[in-house]
Structure 1
């Protein structure tokens, strides 16, 4: 909502406070002011000029030489290229030395040999947006329609000396979507009086009922409809003051009739609609739901397909307007219109919202109807508009208003208990102060001792319960004057649960090894939900009953597809080396038709692409590979003391590389997977070589482990033995390493694989695995005999269980 400071003063006298002070006061009172706009964008030196003569430039076909009176002793000569320049016009002139927006300074000049002392301006050149300029002046200079004082300040006449407050309203404060509502708010904040517009209706001896009848089929959809008739209307441009106010509010002037309905919309907050009575097609207004498949052309020249959910204004047969949203082209007011059918109505907010959303039409009218208009102002707004049409369009108001009226205008009564209020606010506000606040708000009340029975005016539809009144008292009393208090009663110190502490350790570990956290949507598309879900025919993706869009219609079954989106987004912006992780939930269900809550499991996933390590000085570049990612996963398990309980088994999973994928087993239970993304999937997702892992975080963090016990550094030396084993190609190195560790007993402290060989000097179907074994006894120095005894036992077990032999 844009509020003109000068217009606001018509209703509440605030000329002694600046717009910025009002903005500060309103923001502290609960109505946030986003911006304070000065309409003057640094313009100065612009006056009203009178074009005495206008002649063709002797040396240019498209230029004119004008003699312009600007209120000084002698007229000035100005060369102007506007097509609509002519003698006898009152125009806006930037004198020599004037400044226009963008710090553009006007200087003396010669154009094709003719001196030019100033510039005749268009509205756009004075800083008014093109979209707000009347179509008559969309091109060319601005010409004042009325006779104005030569030499006067043109900026003041064009309202460019005004300041506009931009209100950022919450949905409950729809009462401030109009100038009167803002006036009531400002008057309450400054303890001033509100002056309402004076409306004087001069009618003829005819009766509106002779011209029109109103029939509402469902009063729940439309509890009030009022139709007024104004005859002998002359449609044309609005007066300058009216155009200025609409422009300040961000509305483009169109014609006097349309501008008046927009003006009353901004003033009262009540949407109105003017029909051309002669084009309406009948003497009956019928308000009904649309028929299935019915169509109409709206004012924006688009054909709209309607449904039975949409409320229409019809002539008994054809639709003339979509109620509360937009009028129809058939009965549009034009320059030839002479008789106006003026609609003032109250429509069900839900019906208007439904039509606006279905048709993709959001207008100033629909925005107000959706949030609820003041039922007590509907008829008054129609009378205000009729009076202005009669005044500014030379119209004659036909006596009476044809109505269908089932509208409830009763004020809501809410009880306010003073002790409960003070207890809730932590204040000690007296009854007199509370009564003073409600007097400033212009709420009536009845005193019942410690309780006040407040009658909330119909303009304040947000007042429904006692807590709403607490808020009114608090904001008028001043949020910054409410004392600071501590909670009463026993308090407990906050702490993380063991699970939360472990989850935090997961994040810290992953970030310590170089990963960056990503946060993505839990909602995804059905296609992405199929992606990396565990293969189980009983599990189905969970679809939303009313999704925002198809791309956000399904609960995710894996974290990885959205990590791909993050990778693609960054790669498209030349971020090449990416290592991301996410901690989040996935959702699955065993029901085809969901009747209970889906199963939610917390997971951790990561995606890698590009270089893992780069040393420019040494010229070393190490890209991410399977073993880099595997090392990170192993380190994560080691962080929680689970390194001896985890193993990796080669496996095949959908959309993963068949030879570079493994499942991660925790105590022989599958806890996740790791591997390279299948090349075809990489191409489909527009990715380079990419590696991923995903782990069941709940399984990882809920495993019971023994406390870490630290041991002193060994006092005795260790003995290292290297062995190269020849095994079948299908034998996994992890299987060999596990067998060595089990057989080595307490003396074997570590086993490390340091070489793998398969080649021409190796028998077909065989490979060589080389391990380094470290033996240590913390109580004594080991002898070769001690180590040899254990080492030979290891070799025997390797040969017996997996057929391994020492490589010669």
Structure 2
């Protein structure tokens, strides 16, 4: 079970440092498998201000930039589509080695000598975002070390035994740590806006295998917009090994990490007759999961189906046929066990 120290502190005003939290978890009987910073080695990488930015002749995307690194201004070539004047950016001067091993040297690009690199999050080892440069949210001091202005967090990875499912969520871990330090748990206030129309008038749910799934609960979100998640959520999910996809998918994973309860989002408009049926598979029944893998199912496999056939392999992965996409407008959120 991976979580970050700052995420834990959303639920617990603990006086303990990240290292001390890890130590207390070991005393509580949890094996700490990993303890690491969310920041890679950013030695030599500076905060810089883009003071000028103009297109380079005969190039459809390259720009000649002037960057202020405090003690001097340098000319740099940048091909990122979002680079612009007045931005505060991450800058790797000549002589710097990036986390991926790339050594920065002065080089001529389209006739312009580039004295360093304006970096993307991917180049800095912070995320998979490679097409756009990292733009800092607020004004900083040119020449400051980048690691001093980025939020540093700590990832703690613990092994959880079968008798401690309460520790499969950050809230459960916060409760344990709070008991060690006599610190009260902080739970968020739930604010839920509901329409007057009953869900059972819109969605039909039938459980044919109550042994495999004793309870199936759902919520229907209507007229939603699929877009990227906020950067803070993406960073937290990336830190615990979950790839960000979109706001509607990411929030299900985010809540799962906090509570320990898996959720799944279906594009409701793809569900035949607005129906959910929980049943066992038929031997040889075929199903394609979100990772585009084709499966020949066996009779012991538990399925989430609509009126036409499978839409998810229960407790494992959703189906490609009910995937939340950019055009999705209505989403059914599943919460089952």
Give TM-score scaled by structure 2 length.
0.86
Give the Cα–Cα distance (whole angstroms) in 1 for the partners of residues 248 and 17 of structure 2: 33
Summarize deviations over 1:165-194 as a string: whole Å, max 9, x none. 121233333322211111111112222111
Give the Cα–Cα distance (whole angstroms) in 2 for the partners of residues 154 and 207 of structure 1: 52
Give the Cα–Cα distance (whole angstroms) in 2 for the partners of residues 213 and 93 of structure 1: 52
Q: For residue 120 of structure 1, what is the aligned residue in structure 2?
A: 118
Q: For residue 11 of structure 2, what is the aligned residue in structure 1?
A: 11
Q: Does 1:279 align with 2:270?
A: yes
1:246–1:102 CA distance, 2 compared to 1 (3 A)? closer
For residue 196 of structure 2, give the secondary structure of its aligned residue in structure 1.
strand
How much does 1:310 deviate? Answer: 1.4
Summarize deviations over 1:247-293 as a string: whole Å, max 9, x none. 11111111111111110111111101100011112122111111222
Q: For residue 93 of structure 1, what is the aligned residue in structure 2?
A: 90
- The root-mean-square deviation of aligned C-alpha atoms, in Å, is 3.0
1:88–1:222 CA distance, 2 compared to 1 (3 A)? farther
Give the Cα–Cα distance (whole angstroms) in 2 for the partners of residues 106 and 169 of structure 1: 43
Q: Does 1:167 align with 2:164?
A: no
Q: For residue 84 of structure 1, what is the aligned residue in structure 2?
A: 81
Q: For residue 238 of structure 2, what is the aligned residue in structure 1?
A: 247
Give the alignment partner of residue 111 of structure 1, picking from 96, 108, 111.
Answer: 108
Give the alignment partner of residue 322 of structure 2, picking from 317, 331, 351.
Answer: 331
1:102–1:276 CA distance, 2 compared to 1 (3 A)? closer
1:73–1:39 CA distance, 2 compared to 1 (3 A)? same
How much does 1:106 deviate? Answer: 6.4
For residue 343 of structure 1, give the secondary structure of its aligned residue in structure 2.
strand
For residue 203 of structure 1, give the secondary structure of its aligned residue in structure 2.
coil
Q: For residue 292 of structure 1, what is the aligned residue in structure 2?
A: 283
How much does 1:148 deviate? Answer: 2.1
Is this contact kept in 1: 2:61–2:81, CA < 8 A?
no
For residue 321 of structure 2, give the secondary structure of its aligned residue in structure 1.
coil
Q: For residue 621 of structure 1, what is the aligned residue in structure 2?
A: none
How much does 1:104 deviate? Answer: 7.5
Higher-RCO chain (CA-CA 8 Å, sequence separation at least 6): 2
1:181–1:260 CA distance, 2 compared to 1 (3 A)? same
Unaligned residue ranges in structure 1 (runs of 5+): 347-808
Q: For residue 41 of structure 1, what is the aligned residue in structure 2?
A: 40
Is this contact kept in 2: 1:52–1:69, CA < 8 A?
no
How much does 1:151 deviate? Answer: 2.7
How much does 1:114 deviate? Answer: 3.5
Give the Cα–Cα distance (whole angstroms) in 2 for the partners of residues 239 and 280 of structure 1: 28
Unaligned residue ranges in structure 2 (runs of 5+): none
Q: Which has the greater radius of gyration? A: 1
Q: For residue 315 of structure 1, what is the aligned residue in structure 2?
A: 306
How much does 1:218 deviate? Answer: 2.5
1:175–1:110 CA distance, 2 compared to 1 (3 A)? same
Give the Cα–Cα distance (whole angstroms) in 2 for the partners of residues 142 and 287 of structure 1: 46
Is this contact kept in 2: 1:291–1:307, CA < 8 A?
yes
Give the Cα–Cα distance (whole angstroms) in 1 for the partners of residues 121 and 21 of structure 2: 29
Is this contact kept in 2: 1:283–1:315, CA < 8 A?
yes
Q: For residue 224 of structure 1, what is the aligned residue in structure 2?
A: 215
Give the Cα–Cα distance (whole angstroms) in 2 for the partners of residues 303 and 235 of structure 1: 26
Give the Cα–Cα distance (whole angstroms) in 2 for the partners of residues 317 and 157 of structure 1: 53
Q: For residue 191 of structure 1, what is the aligned residue in structure 2?
A: 182
Give the Cα–Cα distance (whole angstroms) in 1 for the partners of residues 279 and 293 of structure 2: 21
1:175–1:292 CA distance, 2 compared to 1 (3 A)? same
Is this contact kept in 2: 1:284–1:315, CA < 8 A?
yes
The correspondence of residues 628-667 of structure 1 with structure 2, limited to 5 A, is none
Give the Cα–Cα distance (whole angstroms) in 2 for the partners of residues 125 and 208 of structure 1: 46
Give the Cα–Cα distance (whole angstroms) in 2 for the partners of residues 274 and 48 of structure 1: 41
Give the Cα–Cα distance (whole angstroms) in 1 for the partners of residues 102 and 13 of structure 2: 36
Q: For residue 248 of structure 2, what is the aligned residue in structure 1?
A: 257
Q: For residue 25 of structure 2, what is the aligned residue in structure 1?
A: 26
Q: Does 1:344 align with 2:321?
A: no
How much does 1:42 deviate? Answer: 2.9
Give the Cα–Cα distance (whole angstroms) in 1 for the partners of residues 178 and 52 of structure 2: 48
How much does 1:99 deviate? Answer: 6.8
Is this contact kept in 2: 1:299–1:326, CA < 8 A?
yes
1:103–1:221 CA distance, 2 compared to 1 (3 A)? closer
Give TM-score scaled by structure 1 length.
0.38
For residue 170 of structure 1, give the secondary structure of its aligned residue in structure 2.
coil
The correspondence of residues 330-729 of structure 1 with structure 2, limited to 5 A, is 330-346=321-337
Give the Cα–Cα distance (whole angstroms) in 2 for the partners of residues 287 and 51 of structure 1: 60
For residue 123 of structure 2, give the secondary structure of its aligned residue in structure 1.
helix
How much does 1:335 deviate? Answer: 0.4
Give the Cα–Cα distance (whole angstroms) in 1 for the partners of residues 146 and 262 of structure 2: 32
Give the Cα–Cα distance (whole angstroms) in 1 for the partners of residues 87 and 273 of structure 2: 44
Is this contact kept in 2: 1:228–1:341, CA < 8 A?
yes
